[in-house]
Structure 1
Amino acid sequence: MTQQSKIAFIKTQAEVAMTIPVTAINEHGEVLEKFVACERPLTIYLNWRPIVTLMTLGARPEALVLGYLKNQGFVSDLSQLKSVIVDWDTNSAAVITDEQTADIEQKLNEKTVTTGCGQGTVFGGFMEGVDDIVLPQPHLKQSTLYGLLNNINAYNETYKNAGAVHGCGLCEDDVIKAFVEDIGRHNAVDTLAGDMWLSEDIGANKIFYTTGRLTSEMVIKVAKMGIPVLLSRSGVTQMGLELAQKLGITMIARAKGRHFLVYNGADNIEFDAQQGAKS
């Protein structure tokens, strides 16, 4: 399937406002003009079967829907997709595929409530293929990591205006190739997964950045994207760390400014800026 034909099955480019203006009163009793992040439901239908309702900011919803369905194991063959239509009037996203979906009911019946922002759910197909993932061993310089953390400050626009959102980025060395914000970190990672799937991009040369904590489901999603380095300004969970060790993901957390903690894969990092780290 050519790039042009891949884009053709996406029937919408459904843009919506990320924030809206409101008034708030501060501790001095002053009325201030502020912004709040928009939160809206989006129900995903696969071949007319309702799958899940996501609470989302609405950034790049077509990529979010495809990334979610792929990460959950509901779809896997890009060439079989017929259409993706997002309608914000009905808060719905309809995906039609010729791929075999006879096992939808079984997957929907096998669900786990997760630690996602708010409350998330993963389904029966989420773990499919994880044991077969083989990730490359990266080489990452400490100085490159500092450059990336500095460059990421130019993003997070919705967070700067309104707060209440997470951001995720696809990075190559210290360059941010793509960045998206959403109400929950899993929506953001699914959106980037959808983008990568549509463009048939590879993850071997990338670093995945997130503002959210590194839980088991975050590690699995990044591994499915083929990305060997996971970087967060937040912390890690025990299961997230165990999976990173099992899958060979270099896990770096509490990363902000010139501080970071390597929880797995320290041998893959060249500490070439240690004097700067002490300043």
Structure 2
Amino acid sequence: MNDRKIITVEKISESRREFQEDVVVCETAVTLYVNEVEMVTMICTPTHLRELCLGFLFAEGMIASAGEATAFEYNKNDGLAWVETKNPINIKNNFLKRHIASCCGRGRASFYFINDSDIKPIISELHLHVTEIFSLRSEAERRSELFTATGGAHGAALGCKGDVIAFFEDVGRHNALDKIAGWCLLHDINPGDKQLVFSGRVSSEIVLKTARLGIPVIISRSAPTDLALELAGQLNVTVVGFARGNRMNIYTMGERINCQ
């Protein structure tokens, strides 16, 4: 499979030492060109790359629909991906070029980067019962096959009415979310009544990507940052953290969550 590799490792247990086969997650560098102009190099798991590239462009405010991307190609040998768009994109003026690392994403100096300033607060009538959140969290964990096999991947799921309708894994947590965004674009999904179920830390970047997509609720098994919660409050995003077993913390917009 493209997302994992079998290797031989030395395993030690107390005084016993032996060679055994083990599984590690695959990681590769993909350089994205838009209209023949180099944009960014992403460190990612080499699966669902069309979703990743389109989702990344959407998250950066460069396309608003899948139809704006007229072509996609990927050369595995060279690690190069190309996207053609209907309308020209002025990358030098509209994009702060960054190296995307799998460990920490891009990091932001402030909320109002030029590509973020058009994100609007979410208006949604969505309400969830806590049992739906537990069900979504459990189903996302069940689908985390790459993490189970390697321990080295993040997962992102799109939830609807207690069910997971899309799920992606990647070495980069932001990449997993971009794949969700790309999938929504390609399948013309309205995210306004959906939930993001996430395995990693909820940073400001994750809140901004989620808000741009229009998803009103983030459910994570990990913690949020203070800036993420500040932005979530401004953008009307519900943040649920430490959703593990039958417990969770609700940090923002708790009126969307019902317990009775």
Tell me the TM-score normalised to structure 2 length: 0.91
Distance 1:129 1:90 in 2: 35
Partner of 2:193: 205
- Using a 3 Å threshold, how does the CA distance of structure 1 residues 155 and 33 change in structure 2: closer, same or farther? same
- Of 92, 111, 122, the residue aligned with 1:105 is 92
Deviation readout 1:184-229 (Å, 9 max, x if unpaired): 1110111110110122111111110111111111001111111111
CA distance in 1, matches of 2:189, 2:135: 23
- After superposition, residues 1-279 of structure 1 pair within 5 angstroms as 17-28=2-13, 29-101=17-89, 103-108=90-95, 110=96, 117-120=103-106, 124-130=113-119, 132-272=120-260
Alignment partner, residue 276 of structure 1: none
CA offsets, 1:158-181, max 9 Å, x none?
111111110000011221101000
Q: Which amino acid aligns with 1:127?
A: D
Secondary structure at 2:115's aligned position in 1? coil
**In structure 1, what residue type is equivalent to 2:253?**
G
The residue identity in structure 2 corresponding to 1:120 is R
Structure 2: state its 5+ residue gaps: none
Identical aligned pairs, as a percentage?
27
Q: Distance in 2 between matches of 1:116 and 1:31?
A: 29
1:97–1:244 Cα change, 3 Å: same
Does the 8 Å contact 2:158/2:166 carry over to 1? yes
Secondary structure of the residue aligned to 1:34 is strand
Aligned length: 254
1:115 deviation in Å? 9.2
Task: Structure 1: state its 5+ residue gaps.
Answer: 1-15, 273-279
Partner Cα separation in structure 2 for residue 187 and residue 244 of structure 1: 20
Corresponding letter in the other structure for 1:207:
Q
- SS of 1:260's partner is strand
Deviations along 1:56-87, whole A, 9 cap, x unmatched?
11120011001101111223354342210011
TM-score by length of 1: 0.85
78-87 vs 28-37, greater mean Cα deviation: 78-87
* 1-structure distance, mates of 2:55, 2:152: 22
Comparing 259-268 with 37-46, greater Cα deviation is found at 259-268
TM-aligned CA deviation for residue 242 of structure 1: 0.5
The alignment partner of 1:24 has SS state of strand
Alpha-carbon contact 2:40-2:98 (below 8 Å) kept: no
Shift of 1:135: 2.5
For structure 1, which segment, 200-209 or 70-79, has the greater mean C-alpha deviation from structure 2 after superposition? 70-79
Q: Give the stretch that moved more between structures: 80-89 or 169-178.
A: 80-89
Distance 2:214 2:53 in 1: 19
